[in-house]
A and B are shown apart, each in its own frame.
Chain A
């Protein structure tokens, strides 16, 4: 590496502006990618540069390993992050909504990328304070890579093939690592059946993230009722059923576990208690449900006595743990479709070396 005296900021600025002029940018500066940098990324994987890692039928585009690498490098990833980007992209493409119209949607959903296993420490993925960012290169650039792939490889750009009405803050920036060390429960990757100690990525699309601040009680059910209120708000209900996860902070998770709640107990409690009275749904014009399971303002007056549950199964309630143990503040994560629940193992350096 040259010393700082030999770095040329004026040339760097020209290259960055070139990238803007090509319409490659998400709005922030990009790292201009050269063949030597691309080669360092490709050396991190045993997969061939032309191998296809995802396709979107509706736009007739495919993403190869090489194009993913160029976009990851542009996003600011270090080469050693590249296997995480590949796993994240593969995990996201397991999400039915992402393969469907999610990236084009008026709702402008954001990928939620979750990293498990030793890779968190090895590559510097933040799992603790400020888990949703910003401030950590690995988290920020892996998430940004996905956004650049959607923009550049799939050609889905804002106000053109991407029709987000408002979008959401933090789109293309949500990559969290699970705080396995302070979680009382098994990590998501292990819950999904991967051997303990496996580094893996899971992903889905989110409509939004909403905090629940409850530093007010040690009663586990009071805490859960506070989550149920946020999860059950009518504004988020479009269909008969919904999917909604919680990224618990360590304090909430430990409080619940200390009171005897296993992860599945938390899910079951939320399935049982989340929902709305029919009268509330009527007030918001969402009391009817069509053949397509879309809610609508029903014409005829019905008895308002019923209660509609909204979370049909445990798969609809992913439970994660991340953040610092410094306050009882957690995040409700509003899933756009349905989390596949399938983590993708991250290729290790040994895997890549063996394949060469």
Chain B
């Protein structure tokens, strides 16, 4: 929990206090930025913008929620703004279709991510954003729709496709013998 006196000093521009807040919360805040942005270099740039925004908004922090929660919300909003400015989310619906069509096959498994975190980075930017916001951050489809300027139905559709792809990417971690996998040659509608 952030020390209220540290926050007071930080509001007044005390470098030691600002640094203390950054040291304490950067591991968590930067992690959500990295999950949403994907590309490490772009994530570092966005994280810098996020922290400037957090510190700029400090005087509005009233202490009625935990500092981590307050800062986390700013981080998500600022990151989504940054992604929008990169014109990555605008193409989300078309990208997800292409994305699903290019799911890796058995032979590519050696190249697949070893953890869900790495696997998420292999999703298209739009699919990653919807998946992270819903399944990791706990946003509702209505919230996501409002943030991304899409419909709630569109958010659901993208989420299910993202989950299906992740399931494929992480099949080797899910302990299901290949011989038992559904063939998916024919599916129910």
The yes or no verdict on A and B being binding partners is no
Interface residues of A (CB under 8 A from B): none
